[in-house]
Every structure is written in C-alpha cells, then in structure tokens.
Structure 1
Amino acid sequence: MTEHTSFKNGRNVLELLWPVVLGLTVGALSACMQSESIRYWYPHLNKPPLIPPNIVFPVVWTILYIMMGLSMGLILQRKDDRKRFLRILFLFQLFLNFFWCYLFFVRQNPLNGLVCIVALVWIVILYTIKAWPVRKISSILFWPYLVWLCFATYLNLYIYLYN
C-alpha cells in the first residue's frame, strides 16, 4: 500500500466517522442538559398512552445518532456537488435537534418545542429527499429518524395539549 492510498483510506474513515462522533456528542450534551428536567419536571406531566418506558429513549437516540452520522459520512465520501448542501442540512437538523431539547426540557416549553420539532421534521424530510439521488443508503438511514421524529412530535403535541 502506498503512502497516498494509506492517507486516502484514513481520510475516508475520518469522513465516515466525524458525523457519527458529532451526532453522538450532540446526543450526550442533550442528555446532560435535560437530566434535571427529566428528574423533576417531566415525571409530573400528563403523557400520552403510547409513551414508551424511559429506558427506550437513550437506546433509540443512540442508534439514531449513529445512523444519521453514517448517512452523512457516506454522502461525504461521494464526489458530488450536492454534498455541501446536504452537509448544511445535516448540521442544521442537528442544531434543531439540540435546540428542541433546550426548548422542551430546559425551558420546559412544549409549545416552542413543538414549533421546533415540526421545523426539524421538515428539514429531515428535505435531507432524505435530497440524499436519495446522491446515495440511496444515506437517505434510507434517515428514515427511522424521520419515523421517530414523527412519533416524538405526537408526544410533544400531546404534552402541550394536556399540560
């Protein structure tokens, strides 16, 4: 293996992994930020009948952050002019994801959280549509995230309406 090939393989691994690490970091920061509200505020809310047990949330979010990161990492490995726009969408959806956590848990404001999560759903839909022609698997890796966000929107809406 030549030095050039070794560098290229290292760059490919970095391109694949940095979005995963970034997503997991956002998730970890969100978890830290919301921990107090989850202990003292969230348990007293009226919640919908379909709410899963609390242990489900960190497991699902960890899997989703990994899938989201792999989606973006696979896009970055393509030689395609559209990857810049997809990178912006990816970073923006991560920001909205984090901001939702801040609004809903830290500010304890389900209405603002609902507005944020609806915007997040639309950005994720746009990402999945725009990723499809660049790398189909990258779009598909975002589908579970989109489904979970729709479910989270239902949870957020219920909590807003009944609290």
Structure 2
Amino acid sequence: MKSKNISALLISIMIPLAVGSISALISGNTMAYQTLIRPPLSPPAFLFPVVWTILYLLMGISSCMIYVSGDPNTGKALKYYALQLLFNFGWSILFFGLSQYLLSFIWLIALILLIAVMIYQFYKISPLAACLQIPYLLWCMFAAYLNLSIYLLNR
C-alpha cells in the first residue's frame, strides 16, 4: 500500500472516531440511561462503546476505499457520508444530552435513510465498501427500536 493511501486510511479512520468521541463528550453523562425503563433486548451499557468503535473503524475503512477509488462519483458518495456523519453526531446529543427521545427517534430515522442512500452510492463505486457499512445500518435500525421503546416506556 502506498504511503499516501496509508495516510488516507488513518485519516479516514480518525474522522468517524473523532465525530463519535466529540459527540459523546458533548452529550454529557450517559449514566441517566441506566435509570430509564429499557425494552427487552437492551444490551448492557458497556457494550455500546465497543460496538461503536468497531462500526467507526469499518466506516473509516469503507470511506477510504471510496476516497482512493478514483471513481468520478466519489465526491457525491462522500457528501452522503459526511451528511450521515453529521446526523450521527447529532443523535447522541439529542438522546443522551437533551433527553429528547421522540426527536432523537425521528432524527435516527433520517440517519437510517441517509445511511441507506450512502450505501447505495458506495455500492456503485465499490461493493465491498458498501458491505462494510451494513453492520452500521443494522445497528442503527436496532438503535431505532431501542430509542422508540425508551420513548414509549418513559413518557
């Protein structure tokens, strides 16, 4: 692998990790999550940072594959990637920081739609890069179940 591509990979991985970390810091103390009535299938709180770290790594690798592809549609695909990252950033703040469970659910539905469009755009360039985003899509769909359930159980 060329050193330029290694640099691109490292930067690509650091971007989603930074987005997630900064969002978590802004969101504040997530200990309130423990006090909520949670639905069946709710994972223990310690699992969330582990899963998100893996997902952010996959997102970074996938986005790097698109970035270095040289495909003429790269710019469009990466715009969707950036937009969904922005929505990802905002969700934790809405849910954990502001306890806006209904609004965060609606926001999450928009995020899921953006992820689906991003995957489609990535697929046109690199099917493998698109496939690396599928765990993220599935996790966000699971998060939507948790988010809606928490809204309904705690109002």
TM-score, normalised via structure 1 length: 0.90
**What's the RMSD between the two structures over aligned residues?**
1.3
Q: When the two structures are aligned, how many residues end up with a matched partner? A: 154
Q: Does the CA contact (< 8 Å) of 1:16 and 1:77 recur in 2?
A: no
In 1: Cα distance, 2:10 partner to 2:117 partner = 23
Q: 1:151 aligns with which of 142, 146, 154?
A: 142
Structure 1 gap segments, 5+ residues each? 1-7
Deviation, structure 1 residue 118: 0.3
In 1: Cα distance, 2:10 partner to 2:129 partner = 14
In the alignment, structure 1 residue 111 sits paired with structure 2 residue 102:
yes
Q: Does the CA contact (< 8 Å) of 2:12 and 2:64 recur in 1?
A: yes
Q: 1:71 aligns with which of 62, 66, 74?
A: 62
In 2: Cα distance, 1:129 partner to 1:28 partner = 27
Q: Deviations over 1:115-162 (max 9, x none)?
A: 110000000001111111201110000000000000000000001111
Equivalent position of 1:3 in the other structure: none
Deviation, structure 1 residue 35: 4.0
Structure 2 gap segments, 5+ residues each? none
Give the 5 Å matches for 1:1-163: 9-36=2-29, 38-39=30-31, 41-163=32-154
Instruction: State the SS of the aligned residue for 1:133.
Output: helix
Report the identity percentage: 36
Q: Determine which structure has more spread, i.e. the larger CA radius of gyration.
A: 1
Structure 1 ranges of 4+ moved more than 3 A: none
